[in-house]
Amino acid sequence: MTIRPDDMAAFKAVLDDKSWSTNADEIAPHLVEWRDRYQADRRSC
């Protein structure tokens, strides 16, 4: 899924810096299911 630049700018304008991230390393721990059986693809974020 690709987010359009104008939509990303709108998110950044409304949310504070701790509410979003585009850094794959910061997002990675949240892509693993709690039982560690499934992992989402980083490209989906």
pLDDT digits (tens, 9 = 90+) for 2-43: 789 999 899 889 998 888 888 888 888 888 887 877 777 766
Position 21 scores a pLDDT of 83
Other residues' Cβ atoms within 10 Å of the Cβ of residue 35: 6
| Domain count within the chain | 1
Position 6 scores a pLDDT of 94
| Distance, CA of 12 to CA of 34 (rounded, Å) | 28
**Is 30 in contact with 24 (CB distance < 8 Å)?**
no
Write out the residue range of the structural domain in which residue 36 sits. 5-44
Indicate whether 44 pLDDT > 60: no
Considering the entire predicted model, what is its pTM? 0.48
Other residues' Cβ atoms within 10 Å of the Cβ of residue 28: 13
| Distance, CA of 3 to CA of 9 (rounded, Å) | 10
**Is 24 in contact with 45 (CB distance < 8 Å)?**
yes
Position 3 scores a pLDDT of 81
Position 14 scores a pLDDT of 94
